[in-house]
Amino acid sequence: MSDVAAVRYPTPVVVRGLDVAAKGMLVGLLLLALVDPDGSNLRDKAAEARAIGYPLASFTIPLIWLLAWKERASFPWVPDMLVTLTCFTDILGNRMDLYDQIVWFDDFMHFANTGLLAAAVILLTLHHTTPRVRLVERALAVGATGAIAWEVAEYFAFINGHAERAFAYADTLSDLGLGVAGSVFAALAIHSLWRFGQLREVAPQLGR
């Protein structure tokens, strides 16, 4: 038992409910994608890799909290929800065929989801007194790394050898730029919220 008293902060019920619901629906949609990849619009789009990677990503924070943070901090619902939403919205977007039906949807997802991941890491690792430039630095480190990792995984998972390969270079550059822009936007948004007294006590803040 740790001799450091746990720091507990209340989290709105709606945030907890959204996080749990998103995790549950994510698992359900992934099972559907494995059973019926055509119905989920994930045929030849690495449905199996998503079925492994997305649960690992969405349950990483709960596992780390259980093993390392539980005795000294309340559960970081907001960052956990942000990470879960990146996985859930991608699967839901494919299920609803939004990637093919809406021309700008893929671009929006790269911008938004990279931003959500950057925001989650900022909330987990930086204190609300952190200068804006450090938030942007952290967001760029997370966003650029995440965007590059996604593009490499995407290429080897289903673009290499596919008809889309001819357009992969331009699409990759666009996706990388949007991911970086989304992460910077997230950093600036969090800094503004902190200045107005919002989102100040939502995570263990391990970076202090």
Q: Where are the domains of the chain?
A: 13-195
pLDDT at 152: 84
Which range is least confidently modeled, 54-63, 103-112, 119-128, 166-175? 166-175
Quick check: 164 pLDDT over 70? Answer: no
The amino acid occupying position 132 is: R
Helix intervals (H) in the chain: 13-35, 47-58, 60-64, 77-95, 98-101, 105-125, 132-154, 168-195
HSE at residue 25, side-chain half, CA atoms within 13 A, is: 18
Q: How confident is the model at residue 47 (pLDDT cuts 50, 70, 90)?
A: confident
Give per-residue burial for 12-36: e unless 16+ CB within 10 Å, then b: eeeeeebbeebbeebbebbebbeee
pLDDT at 98: 95
Task: Say what the pTM is.
Answer: 0.86
Q: How confident is the model at residue 87 (pLDDT cuts 50, 70, 90)?
A: very high
Q: What pLDDT digit, counting tens, does each position of 104-136 carry? A: 999 999 999 999 999 999 999 999 999 999 999
Q: How confident is the model at residue 2 (pLDDT cuts 50, 70, 90)?
A: very low
The residue-averaged pLDDT of 196-205 equals 73
Q: How confident is the model at residue 208 (pLDDT cuts 50, 70, 90)?
A: very low
The residue-averaged pLDDT of 177-188 equals 96
Q: What DSSP letter does each residue of 159-204 carry, written as one string?
A: ITTSGGGGGHHHHHHHHHHHHHHHHHHHHHHHHHHHHTT-SSSSS-
Question: Quick one: what percent of the chain has pLDDT higher than 70?
Answer: 85
CA–CA distance, 9 with 74 (Å, rounded to integer)? 6
